[in-house]
Homo-oligomer: A and B are copies of this chain.
């Protein structure tokens, strides 16, 4: 994995310092609160000065995030967070840039910027707060709402196949994709730190609960009760083992599809279990992992993909410094006087 080194000595602020003075206006019980809290706790650990951090967003409940963080912040327009963050990061690569967005903001109106920022591999961290609904506009279905769900704009149930954000991201050449739950602060903090370390665009999908318009959207696997049996926490280089008793594992079956097995049953041993390789460029297995889930397979959490690849703004800076050395045009006067000119 391509990692940035974190200089912890630069840490000069606490969680309190990065908490803004604005009243947090999310509904009581909304998953956004916990995510914000983990974020604020994580920030002092990234080794960046407070003034070198920028938080940008689009529009949505989730996109109010920047107001609550006392760094530089920009609450943009609906769907354009990725483009906004791209411009900010390219203009000043020294900033630690965090983009916060919802499933509507990033996958409906913002879908194009979302896939393009991933492809370009600009070094920003994207927190995608996926509640599978439009919260701010009060309950219309989003591109991640499951088929058949009745919402304000689908009174007879939706008829659209939802996106799986990880799958879409990998299809768009994402170099980093992780998934986490809004009810696991430790996992959230860890994964956000991983994302910050990754050089390139990092996408984290937060399975966020909207208590008002789609309460329990992720409960099937996110509920504490089921979590052990219905999710698997992937770690690079480790076996894909899960379950309350750590007795379940994943293998590829004869048809090359992922299958869940019980270690000790049918002659399966730990050796048969797949080892997670987050760093391979091949999208195939990452895709299978990102899309697996109920009824037969656990939902993958943790860092599913983290591959090294050239970063947009690094290449740009390189081209610029090369050009500064090699080009004869050093000033605008040089340019104005280049080529055919004549004196009168």
Residues of A at the B interface (CB closer than 8 Å) are: 109-112, 115-116, 119-121, 143, 147, 156-157, 159-164, 167-173, 252, 255-258, 274, 277, 280, 282-285, 287-288, 291, 309-310, 312, 315-316, 319, 322-323
Q: Which of B111, B160, B172, B256 contacts A284 (CB 8 A)?
A: B256
Copies of this chain held together in the complex: 2
10 contacts between A and B (CB under 8 A): A109-B112, A112-B112, A119-B143, A120-B161, A156-B322, A157-B319, A159-B316, A171-B172, A257-B280, A258-B284
Contact present for A285 and B283 (CB under 8 Å)? no
**Closest chain B residue to A173, Cβ basis:** B161
- List chain B residues, Cβ under 8 A from A116: 111, 143
Known: A115-B115, A119-B162, A162-B173. 14 other contacts (CB 8 A): A119-B160, A121-B161, A159-B312, A159-B315, A161-B310, A167-B171, A170-B287, A171-B171, A171-B287, A255-B277, A257-B282, A257-B284, A282-B291, A283-B287
Which residues of the other chain, B, contact A284 by a CB distance below 8 angstroms? 256-258, 284-285, 287-288
Which partner residue on chain B sits nearest A122 by CB separation? B160
Q: Do B277 and A283 touch (CB < 8 A)?
A: no
Nearest-neighbor residue (CB-CB) of A292 within chain B? B282
A257: chain B residues within 8 A (beta carbon): 280, 282, 284
A12 to B144, CA, bound (A): 43
A73 → chain B, closest Cβ, in Å?
A: 26
Q: Which of B159, B291, B310 contacts A283 (CB 8 A)?
A: B291
A52 and B250 alpha carbons, distance in the complex (Å): 49
Q: Which residue of B lies closest to A165 (CB)?
A: B171
Residues of B within 8 A of A322 (CB): 156
Question: Chain B residues near A164 (CB, 8 Å)?
Answer: 173
Q: When A and B form their complex, which 3 residue pairs have the shortest distance between CB atoms, in order from nearest?
A: A171-B171, A159-B315, A284-B288
Given contacts A115-B168, A161-B173, contact A285 B256 (CB under 8 A): yes
Residues of B within 8 Å of A162, CB to CB, are 119, 173
CA distance A51 to B109 in the complex (A): 34
| Pair A319/B115 contact, Cβ less than 8 Å | no
A309 x B256 contact (CB < 8 A) = no
How far does the alpha carbon of A109 sit from the alpha carbon of B116 in the complex, in Å? 10
